[in-house]
Amino acid sequence: MLLVLASVVAAGFLYVPTRTTVSRIAMRAEEIEVIRQPEVAWLEEKGVFAWGTWGCEASSFPWSYSESEQCYLLEGDVTVTPSDGREAASFGKGDFVTFPAGMSCTWEVRKAVRKHFRFFD
């Protein structure tokens, strides 16, 4: 994320210096958010049942999110552990989960997973 500094000189006027000061700000990605057993009406409102479907057998694998992902588990039992020490999240059948962009993690699939999913910015 870039931050550009500018100054307001007079009411209604914005002064942008010719030599712009730019800073990179390192921001920690958000936590994994789990909504336990949401109402079907809420899922329908979000269009979840029209999203793509993905599945895998019991396994363990690394994953990195370049975009945020939302998913709804149709089957399975999973623990996702972020690589940066943030709290692990466990979830299963009927749970709705949001993963933040920029997160690297390990998926520990204890029971075969099938989910609806979508990626977004």
Asked if 68 and 100 count as a contact pair (C-beta separation under 8 A), the reply is yes
The pair of three-digit structure tokens given for residue 5, joined into one six-digit string: 């500094």
Whether the pLDDT of residue 8 is over 80: the answer is no
25/109: higher pLDDT: 109
Give the C-alpha separation, 91 to 16, whole Å.
48
Q: What region does 12 belong to: left with phi over 0, alpha with psi -120 to 50, or beta?
A: left
Average pLDDT for residues 53-78, to the nearest whole number?
A: 98
Model confidence over 40-49: pLDDT tens digits? 999 999 999 9
**pLDDT: is 22 or 45 the higher one?**
45
* Cα–Cα distance, 25 to 36 (Å, whole number): 33
Model confidence at 33: pLDDT above 90: yes
**Cα 79 from Cα 89, distance rounded (Å):** 6
Share of the chain above pLDDT 70, in %: 76
What the chain holds in terms of domains, given with CATH numbers, is 29-120 (2.60.120.10)
Asked whether residue 27 carries a pLDDT value surpassing 50, the answer given is no
- What is the model's pTM? 0.76
- The 8 Å CB, 24+ separation contacts for 38-41 are 38/96
> Tell me, what's the pLDDT at 121?
87
Contact 82, 104 (CB under 8 A): yes
